[in-house]
Structure 1
């Protein structure tokens, strides 16, 4: 009873109460509308990452897929083998780690959105109950308004930093995929050669057993050849397992580990390395590497944040206070809420921002020195691999090919034993294995160099856009699929051949049938010699040399059938009307017009 009377005594008229509530509600709505519940959508940087990768290494990122989904790019045709470019395209579309890194762009983009939003106003109300009159207060952070451009600038720099880091991560992924593809290709080719070497060494061991029974050689010599055959079998098994492991590693990097897809690596055109001196490449890398650009942006972002923390040492908020019954009735007026920087002063955050700025500056030096090291070491590796491959192809292989040809011709005349043919052929297989190792080393070093500089070294970039017939390459270029050559009918053993010069030399089409009639085992090995001389998985055309006959290019039916079984390397050209993209930078790092 007393409480109701007290409430009646202090209560304000209904008209004034309604007016006060209406004013307070209008004020809250106005402040909310001015601050805004939705900020502008920040620009996504995924297109920037896509464009940079396409400009630098001719590979776009690809479309956004669902979590756990696997998509095959339309330019990838797995039935004819997996080229290096197709493997990279698969990885950019499906690699799980790469997709996880790209999701960081969304996180940074959300942080930019948060930086652009203002602090929500604070509204408090005291209801007129008991002796208390109606009061309300609205508070809005004024410092958040004038600090908003600085926060947005720092967030934009963070987003640009993450985008450049994503470009570098894309370069790293491409490098890893190309290394895995080169390893799989080497393992496949060496596995084929190891199978041939095993057959030959088994033939050598069997031939030695027969000579031992005839009393021509000692038991010690036969034991050595038996050991060689066992080692050849172990090498064949090991290389076959290496091919399986390399295929699984490439499958995981390509993002198709759960799909039963045929992944058979096929050769691509070797890039033409047009790199200049090491110092020019270093300057180009310093101008093009996205991780160095990201380090620069990180320094700028850290500097902006250091300035922001100094401006946040004192917080200022605006107040609007009103009461329902003052001296003149309903009263409303402005006010301010200011922090006094006596004890805290945001000194801890300022020191933290300064330390992060120093860390960003040190990180820039670290990244710069690492780029210089990467370029110089990868260039040395490329030069060494090219030199080793040149020695093998221009000096070692021609000598071994000549020895194989001489041994075969002399064996056909009956001048040398069959054992010498087998030994020279085994040396040829060992030389081919060394050539494959050097080719793989060159592919790996070129991939490292391109990643170190930040662009492809191509004089005529190739695109995996559509399947077109592969052109023929003259000279010592990579071997491309050629139309099958019809087999040449072999002449009878006693019939004279048009290619016979009267000195016991036989053309390749007649060599295998004659050898098979002379000796069954010898015929199989001579067939293997013909196939080896053709080059199983060999990335270069056979060379015409004055001391070697054309027997290194057999046209018999067995060789043609083996040629047809080899995977087809299909390359594609840019569509008509589309300009061929280039790196966009000169060796000096100057932007091209």
Structure 2
């Protein structure tokens, strides 16, 4: 190699090394994005637990700790957020989007071409070389980065919304399993009541005060309660199985120990208008839809800059017989037939589509909040009606009917009817408590905030009473 060529090599080498070093500095670190998702989930659910790739050992230890000694409703939410496989898989999409954002900020690699032509006869060898890179990216880079960042933001919000929805579903599954356990206890109590009545009827038959028809009717009622107990046991199994699915747990569902019972009718109330305001500012799917609009706007801006899609500039070198020439060069794709009109129009339609979807989602959220509010109010009122009036009345009716029957003043059918109504009321009361318990996570999911924050909206007033109650007035 000549001294002149060696000198040129030493001049270009540092520049090439610098370019390679700068390109190598690009790293993909989605940790801040995972933390952002965790913050959003904490705001929506009140729980800061969320699986993060790379924390598998810590998560396994935490889940084992939560499952030890029984599981509360809030602990079940924590387990679901940490251990649900579908959510874990979806969280990796955040890392994918972060990689896309990093890629969007990188310039394309330059292309190096070289040709060596050997003479077939007399003459000298000709060498041609060219180094070209895209300069179109100089005006495409900024909107491309904004598009990638907005897509990343949308993914973070969508994943956080999925986690918040999972939290509500997990809590609802927990309360269904807890209610199924309470329903089993009620079925066993009904079974005992039917057994007592059958024994009483048999005693009356021995005393000549009851017929075989009466005994058969009492035995039929007893056998019905036996069947209901068996059905209730399966319902407990199935409800716990659904809970185990939400928690991401394998194994025997019956081994799940639930600490929180569905036994109380709450005394607090919430304000509908306040809930609507909270939902408008807090629902993560609304925020994700708004970010989709922003992403579509950024995509449109990028397409508007893509008229000159391929413009490359660089240097070209030619050497022949010791005579070397070096100079600039440019290569560009002329926008004669394709001026990117179709892609621009497509981006405009996507933007308009995103706007319409956001508007439709706003309407859906409004109706979801109203529906959840009415459902919760109905569940509270109905459960309180059973607790304060219907159950005591039917219990008293059965006791009076039994006393009258024992004294020979009342016929068998009146006792059987009173007992059947009480047993049905017990089952229905547990169902009402279940509906009440499930309505709370539904209210949280509709508003995008935990119950503690919703209660800060204040108590219900006349303007925010359930519509069915205002209609009765």
Q: In structure 2, do the counterparts of structure 1 residues 382 and 312 end up closer, same or farther at CA, with 3 Å as the change threshold?
A: same
TM-score, normalised by the number of residues in structure 1: 0.68
3-state secondary structure, aligned to 2:451: coil
**Residue of 277, 280, 283 corresponding to 1:286:** 280
Deviation, structure 1 residue 316: 1.8
Give the 3-state SS of the residue equivalent to 1:73 in structure 2.
helix
Name the SS for the 1:138 alignment partner. strand
Matches within 5 A, 1:484-499: none
| Larger-gyration structure (1/2) | 1
Alignment match, 2:156: 163
TM-score (norm 2): 0.84
Structure-1 residue corresponding to 2:79? 90
The residue that corresponds to 2:42 in the other structure is 54
CA shift, 1:80, in A, is 3.9
Deviation for aligned residue 1:383: 0.8
Matches within 5 A, 1:147-296: 147-258=140-251, 262-267=255-260, 273-277=268-272, 279-296=273-290
CA contact (8 A) 1:101 1:166 kept: yes
Equivalent residues in 2 for 1:459-470, closer than 5 Å:
none
1-structure distance, mates of 2:198, 2:152: 67
d(CA) in 2 for partners of 1:65 and 1:111? 18
Cα RMSD, aligned residues only: 3.3
Listed as ranges, the gaps of 5+ residues in structure 2 are 459-473
In 1, Cα distance between equivalents of 2:93 and 2:432: 39
| Alignment counterpart, residue 39 of structure 1, candidates 22, 26, 42 | 26
Distance 1:79 1:303, change over 3 A: closer
Match of 2:382 among 364, 383, 388: 388
Q: Residues 123-142 of structure 1: matches in 2 within 5 Å?
A: 123-127=112-116, 129-130=118-119, 131-142=124-135
Per chain length, whose mean CA-contact separation is higher, i.e. which structure has more relative contact order (CA < 8 Å, sep 6+)? 2
How many angstroms apart in 2 are the aligned matches of 1:362 and 1:103? Answer: 29
CA contact (8 A) 2:76 2:174 kept: yes
Q: Matched residue pairs, number?
A: 447
* Cα distance in 1 between the residues matched to 2:417 and 2:154: 60
Q: Distance in 1 between matches of 2:223 and 2:268?
A: 41
- Secondary structure of the structure 2 residue equivalent to 1:137: strand
More helix by share: 2
Q: Equivalent residue for 2:462? A: none
For residues 265 and 108 of structure 2, what CA distance do their matches in structure 1 show?
58
Cα distance change, pair 52–418 in 1 and its aligned pair in 2 (3 A):
farther
1:292-331 equivalent positions in 2, closer than 5 A: 292-314=286-308, 315-325=310-320, 329-331=323-325
Question: Counterpart of 2:109?
Answer: 120
> 1:522 corresponds to which residue?
none
2:137 and 2:428 map into 1 onto residues whose CA distance is: 68
* Residue aligned with 2:103, SS: helix
Spell out, residue by residue over 1:427-462, the C-alpha distance to the aligned partner (whole angstroms, 9 max, x if none).
Answer: 55443322211111011111111100011222xxxx
Q: Deviations over 1:284-317 (max 9, x none)?
A: 2111101001100110111111110121121221
**Equivalent residue of 2:255, what SS?**
coil
Q: Could you tell me how far apart the structure 2 residues matched to 1:77 and 1:313 are?
A: 58
Matching of residues 305-384 of structure 1 within 5 Å: 305-314=299-308, 315-325=310-320, 329-384=323-378
